[in-house]
Chains A and B, each alone.
Chain A
Amino acid sequence: MTDQATTPPKRTGEWPLFEVFIRGQHGLSHRHVGSLHAPDAEMAIKNARDVYTRRNEGVSIWVVEAEAIHASAPGDKEALYDPSNDKVYRHPTFFDVPDEVGHM
């Protein structure tokens, strides 16, 4: 962690970038659908409503300033993900999931 989390994001005169997450229906989790610019979080939600939910896609919208997201580095790919490649027993694929269970 850097001290990025405590210092407010720099303002350049451009509207900050927000990442948009939409919950498609009750019971599902919010999914990342894209990003947009807005002057503040409230307006970002309105913009998200206009840009991403015109066809009845959602029941709930989250917006997060893109600067507030900490991401893994692409260079760490091998160390992070390769070790699990050959460990099939970690996947619950040896069970039959009954249809009634619904979303897993």
Chain B
Amino acid sequence: MSNAALFQTLLRLGDNTLVLGHRVSEWCGKAPVLEEDIALANTALDLIGQTQMWLGYAAEIENEGRSADDLAMLRDVWDFRNILMVERPNLDFGHTMMRQFLFDAYHRTLLTALKDSTNPRIAEIAAKAVKEATYHFERSAETVIALGDGTPESHEFMQNGLNLLWPFTGEMFECDAIDAEMAAAGVIPDPISLRDTWIALVSDTLTEATLAIPQDDFAHKGGRTGRQHTEHLGHLLTQMQWLQRAYPGANW
């Protein structure tokens, strides 16, 4: 098992939680109701907390003197390894919750499998994070059902969100040479093996939410490999990294 492949795998895990955590934090102070505002901020903080563990371990594996903060704040777009879905702008509340739901279902499934990783550090982090992911999933699934099966207006928002996001879900189950190497060593599950569990979780909830699952299998890809991020990630980084870029090394 090569350290380079492990490093990439840890970036994929940590960049998903970092970028989605930052996106969700953008709701802070302006969510539709106070209770949702607090819940979204909690979710964002959970994800950033998980990022510290993933990127902290990634920095150790890389062994070039960089810290988790360096990886988060001083890399540019092409070095990020998150899936494209999490860098999408929040748009409306329905789109945000649909993205959260689709990701949470995947995240919970992935972390559950990672608890059995042959790499003890990964297994430990996953065991801690899966508790948070389970709560996130319960919460976002309930919201998707409430709004999908709510008023005609809320239903339309959720269906639009689902239609927009569906083509971004295929990337979660993509398997390249790095995944194959890690899966063969038992470090991560084969991404494709997660799909059945995910689709079962997602269809149950979406059916209850009276939402129609798009039948198109086309998938936008390029985030996990860094080959082609959307234009949104650059804008996100200018916000997220501004302080460290303007005042290098600034600290509490």
Chain A residues in the interface with B (C-beta under 8 A): 15, 36-39, 42-43, 46-47, 49-51, 54
Chain B positions within 8 Å of A42 at CB level:
142
Interchain CB contact under 8 A, B42 and A38 = no
Are B33 and A15 neighbours in the complex by a CB distance under 8 Å?
A: yes
Given A46-B138, A46-B142, 19 extra CB contacts under 8 A? A15-B33, A36-B34, A36-B35, A37-B35, A39-B146, A43-B142, A43-B146, A46-B39, A46-B139, A47-B35, A47-B38, A47-B39, A49-B135, A50-B35, A50-B39, A50-B42, A51-B35, A51-B38, A54-B42
CA distance A23 to B150 in the complex (A): 33
CB distance from A53 to the nearest CB of B (A): 10
Chain A contacts of B139 at CB under 8 A? Answer: 46
- Set of chain A residues within 8 Å of B38, measured between Cβ atoms: 47, 50-51
Query: Which residues does B use to contact A, with CB under 8 Å?
Result: 33-35, 38-39, 42, 135, 138-139, 142, 146
In the complex, A54→B35 CA distance in Å?
13
What residues of chain B lie closer than 8 Å to A36, measured between beta carbons? 34-35
In the bound complex, CA of A15 to CA of B35 (Å): 11
Interface centre among A38, A46, A49 (most CB of B within 10 A): A46
Of all chain A residues, which has the CB nearest B43? A50
Please, how many angstroms separate the alpha-carbon atoms of A31 and B38 in the complex? Answer: 22
How distant is B32 from chain A, measured CB to nearest CB, in Å? Answer: 11
Q: How far is the CA of A87 from the CA of B138 in the complex (A)?
A: 53
Whole-angstrom distance from the CB of B210 to the nearest CB of chain A?
A: 17
